Structure 1
Amino acid sequence: MYTAKTHTTGGREDGASPNSDGRLGVELSLPDAARIGANPEQLFAPDCSACHESAIGLAVRRRKITLPVDLAIDAEVDLHLAEGDYLLSARLNIRLPAIKREVAQTLKDEAHQNCPHSQATRGSLDIAIDLV
């Protein structure tokens, strides 16, 4: 369906990662660095939440219910250092207003099963997904 392409140089400390169609050019830097730029965790957070929100949309359409216009997902991605290894964890806080709690729970669970990013990280990323 689609292939995203980037060319990254310099890594997280002082890198750049433009994509092939020119729509996105990211300057990279360490958290709290003087250099302006994003770090990989800041890029991963919208990646997780946007993909998950699309998966919720698919679950909603399958049930022929109306997607709330104020559906929102707040994402937090943590970088950890444990025993010399770097690890990620994430939290997604989902707002599904005007949807009954039981239905929202079902949509959340189905989205987590069907989201391509959830599938790709299953077993390797500690992720908490909650309804708020």
Structure 2
Amino acid sequence: MKILYKTSATATGGRSGVSKLDDDSFEVNIVPPGSKREGVNPEQLFAIGYSACFDNAMLLAAQRMKLAPTASSTTIEVGLAQLESGGYGLDVDLYANIAGLPEADAHALLEAAHKV
């Protein structure tokens, strides 16, 4: 594997603390899901990052496949799950909206984006 980019972040205080990028370009208050305090939870941050990455993968795949969707967007739903083993896991659902392509091409684009 060839590393193309690497970043780092530090969290203090877990789900009731602060997380920040180590280059000081972004800092956020972390709160538990459903909290009335100002901030975001890790699942929300994961959904933002995943949706941006997958949407970009679709754009790249479309270019490689010489497809020209008129618009696209990616929505990621992230759920926090209690595992039967007692641990925790994430439940992730991906929804892509691709306009301007026949359905077969849109499906092929999704498969290609997933591989990217």
Query: Normalised by the size of structure 2, how large is the TM-score?
Result: 0.88
Whether 1:20 aligns to 2:19 is no
Q: Alpha carbon RMSD of aligned pairs, Å?
A: 1.3
Higher fraction of strand: 2
Structure-1 residue corresponding to 2:8: 5
1:108 corresponds to which of 94, 107, 110: 110
Whether 1:33 aligns to 2:32 is no
Whether 1:78 aligns to 2:82 is no
Structure-2 residue corresponding to 1:91: 93
Structure 1, gaps ≥5 residues long? 115-132
Hey, what's the Cα distance between the residues in 1 that align with 2:72 and 2:63?
A: 14
Structure 2, gaps ≥5 residues long? none
Q: Name the % identity.
A: 35
Q: Which runs of 4+ in 1 moved over 6 A?
A: none
Please say if residues 69 and 99 of structure 2, whose CA atoms lie closer than 8 Å, have aligned partners that are also in contact. no
1:4 partner amino acid: T
Aligned to 1:88, what secondary structure does the other structure show? strand
